[in-house]
Chain A
């Protein structure tokens, strides 16, 4: 395409049957239910939003302290404090169904059956684009095995969710595994429409004066700019492994970060921890993407995806 034809770059992204206005999404657990950010950003301009991890029952979460800043990141163990799926439907959905961003409900459960029930409940909400399945949870019925660290357990969850909904099924992978590729493949083979990654890296921080862990849960999830290189590498590996779209995340806090994920093969990105210290960050990335595409003669965002040069 001639540069002169590139007037308004095309930022639209297709994730299976779901079209996003652009590749920038808000990551679950870092944007509440959207309304908390409405003073700072235009939710109609976002590509998508994945709301706070939602469980069957309301949860109060972990004791304090729950978070601690580390160099270039933070560790959290919130413990899935959330309103539960029924209050989500009655209190949060009415707001979300009127925003332009495509909404995904991040679902979290401790058994395959619960995942199925949650997906079925979300299936009945017409304005929700799909579910994001947080498979990095212990299966309480199976001795607490983390469902996201085993290809067979992951496949079982994804199959149950697939059966319960005809909506888009995005599966969010944990980076805390020896090899992520067979897990991604198992999710794809069980009916996932897309893969999102990475969830947080398990981390720990110690107060050397008191010799106590800095968060009450002892260990927690490390997020923020510090984890980005790990996230880019895993996104690249998964994008090469599966045919379904990949949504990359992990430490994205500016345009260049987002571009890295697109170049290694992510069709879209999610922005998480950066919302905490810069609530406007998603708007800055969307504006930056548009300018980058104009400056570099990129007509469609998909012309960037997976263009890593290894020559």
Chain B
């Protein structure tokens, strides 16, 4: 994979503290797969380690990310201007399965900034529905696009405070949808840990396969620091599980293989 400075062609605050950044690089764009991530270098000694962010969209030679300003690193990123460059490492990780049969409906379940990888997935696949949970309307990303998808019956939104869509948990929307018909479906999920754990429970309840994109604090993103691991079921190991690297073995794991604790 690549490590290079790339020119920024867009960096806008689409919602408070939520940014959309696009850079141009044909080599990286050509290598990206749905569900992979990139590692961004923002700053010097204060932000020494890179920041892992999902690939949100690939359009020709342009790659976009959605990021939430939470710390000094993302703050540095948010202040970069069009025409400046940023050092990018990637694309990294395994990504979501690419070989889903066309007749199988993929249920994208996104929580908060975990929506990151799904615009790319929405572009890539055709037979899907989006379940998107956010705290409130102010956190709802790509709102115009989501509204159009809602009208077309392709997207369902839940907010904690009821400021947009259904008030409540997106996992309840998913549960209700699967209660009607759970045949020939597969779940792709990315969001906060409690939500992803609940998605795994809902998936298990309805006998639906799930693929969960984990997020973790990472030292390197390429499997050499072994700082981001999760307990993943492995019958061949003495304890029945193995510490797998989120960055290199993941970030996407089968829901049934994840040991939540």
Residue B168, interface by CB 8 Å: no
Whole-angstrom CA separation of A91 from B256 in the bound complex? 27
How would residues 72 to 107 of chain B score, 1 for a CB under 8 Å from any chain A CB and 0 otherwise? 000000000000000001000000000000000000
Which residues of chain B from 121 to 170 have a CB within 8 Å of any chain A CB? none
- Bound form: Cα–Cα A278–B3 in Å: 8
Among A60, A71, A78, the residue within 8 A (CB) of B46 is A71
Q: Write out the residue numbers on chain B whose beta carbons fall within 8 Å of the beta carbon of A32.
A: 223-224
Contact between B224 and A275 (Cβ–Cβ < 8 Å)?
A: yes
Closest chain-B Cβ to A274's Cβ sits at a distance in Å of 9
A8 CA / B55 CA spacing, docked (Å): 44
| Known contacts A61-B243, A276-B224: A67-B219 contact under CB 8 Å | yes
Q: What is the bound-complex CA distance between A30 and B8, given in angstroms?
A: 30
B48 within 8 A of A: yes
With contacts A60-B242, A81-B243, A279-B3 known, is A68 near B225, CB below 8 A? no
Q: A69-B48, A225-B48 are in contact. Are A37 and B226 (CB under 8 A)?
A: no
Do B225 and A276 touch across chains, with their CB atoms under 8 A apart?
yes
Q: Are A276 and B220 in contact (CB under 8 A)?
A: yes
Q: Is the interface of A mostly helix, strand, loop or mixed?
A: loop
Interface size class on chain B is: 20 to 34
Q: How many residues of A contact B (CB 8 A)?
A: 33
A65 contacts B49, C-beta separation under 8 Å: no
Q: Inside 8 A of B223's CB, which chain A residues have their CB? A: 32, 36
Bound CA–CA A29/B226 (angstroms): 8
B220 near A78: Cβ-Cβ < 8 Å: no
Residue of B nearest to A31 (CB): B224
Contact with B along A217-238 (1 / 0, CB 8 A): 0000000111000000000000
Q: Cβ of A39: which chain B residues have Cβ within 8 Å of it?
A: 1-2
Contact between B227 and A40 (Cβ–Cβ < 8 Å)?
A: no
Interface centre among A52, A66, A74, A225 (most CB of B within 10 A): A66
Question: A146 to nearest B CB, angstroms?
Answer: 22
> Shortest distance in angstroms between A98's beta carbon and chain B's nearest beta carbon?
19
In contact, B48 and A74 (Cβ under 8 angstroms): yes
A60-B239, A225-B48, A277-B41 known; 6 new pairs, CB 8 Å cut-off, are A29-B226, A36-B222, A60-B242, A72-B46, A81-B229, A276-B220
Contact surface of B with A, Cβ cutoff 8 Å: 1-3, 41, 45-50, 89, 216-217, 219-220, 222-230, 237, 239, 242-243, 248
